[in-house]
Amino acid sequence: MDTRSATNTIAFAFQSMRIEHTFMKKAHLCFDGLRETRRQILNIGLGGYEAKCVTLFADTQSGKTTILKAYLEKNVVDRCYEVGLFSREVPRTLVAALQRVVVRVSVSGTSTLMSLLEDILRAYGDPRPETGNMGSKKHRIFRYMQEFRTELLIFDEMNHLRIGARGLYQSAEATRVHNVLKDFLLGGCPIVFVGTTEAQAKVLSDFQIRARCVKSLFLGPLVYGNTEHRRAFTEYCGMLGINLMRSGLFPERSNFLEDDIVPRLFEAAGGYFGHAANIVELAAHYAKDEGSKRVERSHLSAAADDYSVLNKLATRNPFEEELADA
């Protein structure tokens, strides 16, 4: 296998990797609960029934995107098969892309109200999201929600919203954005707001949205001294090593649970699942270059040397120095 092929294979394996951990399970259970309530609203046809929202705000590389992808690919696709929306012969990836039971909206950069509505229309596959005034766009969105019996809206990258800027126009625009988001909740469709920590102030600055928020999901940074956090991270590291073998990247299991690897990898990753995966991915490249049968501690140390300091997760390599106090 040449260098380019090995690089692409490793990158694809990590992009495809879905490792379930405690906080992913909690998020998915929360999403399921919101959808169950929505189904009751749709089945009974209750008018005027308000929905609730939850938030998933965490720093970059905390694992937000993986949680969303895993939910769409597993929970949502399972439901689509179960109720007969798609034949089980249709591949999971295709079902996840075509279904509109749970709609994930990727909020575009510096989004205004009109561009937000267009982002939602694109998520529904609208052929001409840019056409029409605000009223017609909202009408089309609500029509799609009823047509596809949408059970959950997920707004990703909410930090892109232009809310919080000073000025009369910006304040009025923020109010309009909040009002539209409230309209979805008032219409009975639950929402998951996702973004970096910057998004929290933007979304929850509106009292009425804040009052309808039933849960703020946690995803880091983890604290090593917290038993639940440490256990979740340890299990995650163990599964990373197993998945390196299962994916066919290496013939032997990489044992990241031996010696003091877990606490050192935790420090190198700054307590984030995503950064830990990135360090292991880089270490996998180094192991491949050496022709190693598995990723060793030395490869993790080299990866931390290049990754952790560059991303300001650590001021020195935790694999080569004394561990900081947990």
The strands making up 53-57's β-sheet, listed across from edge to edge, are 102-106, 152-156, 191-195, 53-57, 213-217
The pLDDT of residue 161 is 82
Encoding tokens for residue 5? 């092929």
pTM: 0.91
Closest by CA position to 297, among listed 253, 258, 325: 258
**Domain boundaries 16-217, corresponding CATH code:** 3.40.50.300
Closest by CA position to 133, among listed 119, 116, 120, 114: 114
> How open is the CA angle 151-152-158, to the nearest 5 degrees?
165
The domain ranges of the chain are 16-217, 224-307
Tell me the H-state helices in 194-226: 197-204, 207-211
Each residue's pLDDT expressed in tens, for the chain with a length of 326 residues: 555 566 679 999 999 999 999 999 999 999 999 999 999 988 887 666 899 999 999 999 999 999 999 999 999 999 999 999 999 999 999 999 999 999 999 998 766 889 999 999 999 999 999 999 999 999 999 999 999 999 999 999 999 887 655 555 566 777 888 999 999 999 999 999 999 999 998 899 899 999 999 999 999 999 999 999 999 999 999 999 999 999 999 999 999 999 999 999 999 999 999 999 999 999 999 999 999 999 999 999 999 999 998 999 988 899 997 766 54
> How open is the CA angle 276-281-287, to the nearest 5 degrees?
125
The pLDDT of residue 324 is 62
Q: Is the peptide bond before 221 cis (omega within 30 degrees of 0)?
A: yes
Query: Taking the chain, what is the end-to-end CA distance rounded to the nearest angstrom?
Result: 41
CATH class of domain segment(s) 224-307:
mainly alpha
Q: How would you classify residue 188: left for phi > 0, otherwise alpha for psi between -120 and 50, otherwise beta?
A: left
- Strand, coil or helix: what is 255? coil
